[in-house]
Structures are given as structure tokens and as C-alpha cells.
Structure 1
Amino acid sequence: MTTRLIPYIQFAGAAREAVTFYQEVFGGELTISTFGDFGMPGADPSHVMHSELKADGFDLMGADGLEPDQVVGETRISAAFMSDEVERVLGWFARLSDGGTVRQPLEKQVWGDMYGEVTDRFGVRWMFNVALPGDDAPLA
């Protein structure tokens, strides 16, 4: 096994909704385990103890905090995609923007790549950098 980075996002009671949404955006296989599945005393049995989305090319994990005050305010992560698949990233960007906030439109930048940022409806900031194949690449 090689070393790789897997984003693990902490949510304040919205993990199931968030990871299910991410599965709709990215596809892949999603597994969810709740605190109730493991009989964790003192925890809300419906909250997500661990989830894992295995999508094409990456994994994403998420959970709710054991205590309500463990996760407050915005989610503490930014997820960055580096890609050369323009159409795929355009689709992801559009779907993550639905109900979210576009922080930087996905457009060609001075360094020659397409770049954009969106904060989704769960407070997760997504950054996309797409290496363009040439000057005739489609722009958002």
C-alpha cells in the first residue's frame, strides 16, 4: 500500500446528509456506521461514527462529533482536486455549487490552468485546479 491523503471531514450532526450528497456528486461506494451500530454509550445513536466514500480515484471520510460541542461553526477542512479532466471537474463544481457559495468562479488563470473554489451547503471549501490541454479548452 502506498501513502495517500484521505480527507476526513467532521460535521456537527449533518454527516449522513453530507456524505450521501457527496456520493451523488462523485459516485462511488458509501459505507456508514453510526454510534448506535457500535453501542457507544453517551452518544446519539443516529449520528455517524465513521463513513467512507470510495470514489473513482479518491476516498473521502466523515463523521459527526461524539459531543455536540466538538464540532462547531464551519467544517474544518478544504479539499483540493488537481486534475486534467475538464468536463468531470466542471460537473463536480456545478453540483457542489448547488446550495453553496462560489468563492472563485472556475475559470482560466494567469498560470494557464483553470481554477475555482466553492463552499458547499455543508460549509466544506472545495478547490479545483485543472491543467488545460491547450488554449482551445472549454472554459466555464
Structure 2
Amino acid sequence: MPAPSLYLHLPGTAADALAFYRGVFGGTVERHTFAQFGRTDGPGTAIAHGELSGAVDLCVADTGDEEEPFAARGLMVALLGTAEPTTLRTWFAGLAEGGEVVEDLRRRPWGASDGQVRDRYGVRWLIGYQHGSEVAEQAASTGG
């Protein structure tokens, strides 16, 4: 069974969001416009469905005339241990561009590292990882 994925309805910024998230996570993008889907509840060039496939899968769409754009309170997307520590730190920095660091990505008293960031689209992300051997930690912290 495939894992759940995030699906955001955005107020006319879906194309920008796809480019942003692809820049952060990599992967491939697929887009379909309102016109391609025969929708008349918004501009024909608006994104009716866009999908990023890769290390992180997510979907975005521009809102139609009667749809509410994405807004969240009390929601966080967790990417705990979903990639190597170096990759997770890169994702954290990328998501913070144009957004807000809620809690720095740092080592916690329980031994793992994590942090929270709210990206430019209002999505709050929890990113973290467990620490391995001291050799692996040193290599990760020096980029090796």
C-alpha cells in the first residue's frame, strides 16, 4: 500500500509551489491545467492537478472558484528519518527559504536531532533523524 501524500490546494500558486518543492526535494513534476481537465471554475492555465514524484511525493492544485485554499493549524508533516541526515538538513534549509524556522534543527536531549520549519506556502514540516556511530556523525557534519 502506498504511503499517504500531501495534497495542497493553493490560491493560484500551484505552479510556483511545484517548482519550489522540486528544487527542495528533487524528483519529477507532472502538471495538468484546468483547460486540459475541461474545468471552467477558474483560469484555463491554472493547475488542476500537479504532482511531484520522488523522495517526497506531493500534489498541488490551484483552487477553483468555490474551493478554499490550504490553511492549517495544528498540522505538521513529519519527515523523521526519511533520508540520510545530510539530505534532511538540506531539505530543512530549502524549506526555510522564504519561510520561517519554527525550531532550529539541532540535537535534542533524547539524542536525536530535529527541527521545525514553516515553508512559504504555510506547510509546517518536522524534520529529524537518529544519530548513528560517532564516525558516521562526523562524516555527516563535515559533508563527507
Q: TM-score range by the shorter chain?
A: 0.7 to 0.9
One-letter amino acid of the counterpart of residue 92, structure 2? F
**Is the Cα contact below 8 Å between 1:12 and 1:68 reproduced in 2?**
no
Q: Is 1:18 equivalent to 2:47 in the alignment?
A: no
1:76-110 deviation per Cα after TM superposition (whole angstroms, max 9, x unaligned):
75321021511001111111111110000000112
Q: Are the equivalent residues in 2 in contact too, given 1:16–1:48 (CA < 8 A)? A: yes
SS of 1:37's partner is: coil
Identity of aligned residues (%): 31
Local SS of the residue matching 2:87 = helix
In the alignment, does 2:57 pair up with 1:59?
yes
Aligned pair count reads 136
Cα–Cα, structure 1 residues 68 and 101, in superposed 2: closer, same or farther, change >3 Å? farther
Indicate conservation of the 8 Å contact 1:9/1:75, yes or no: no
Residue 27 of structure 2: aligned partner: 28
* Cα distance in 2 between the residues matched to 1:36 and 1:75: 29
Q: Which runs of 5+ in 2 are unaligned?
A: none
RMSD: 2.1
1:102 equivalent in structure 2? 101
Shift of 1:3: 3.6
- Distance verdict in 2 for CA 1:124–1:52, change over 3 Å: same
Greater Cα offset, 97-106 or 34-43: 34-43
How much has 1:39 moved relative to structure 2? Answer: 2.2
SS of equivalent residue, structure 2 residue 57: strand
CA deviations 1:2-51 (Å, max 9, x no partner) are: 24111111211111101111001111110011112122123221221111
Q: In 2, are the aligned partners of 1:11 and 1:75 still within 8 Å (CA)?
A: no
Residue aligned with 1:40, SS: coil
- The TM-score, its normalising length taken from structure 2, stands at 0.83
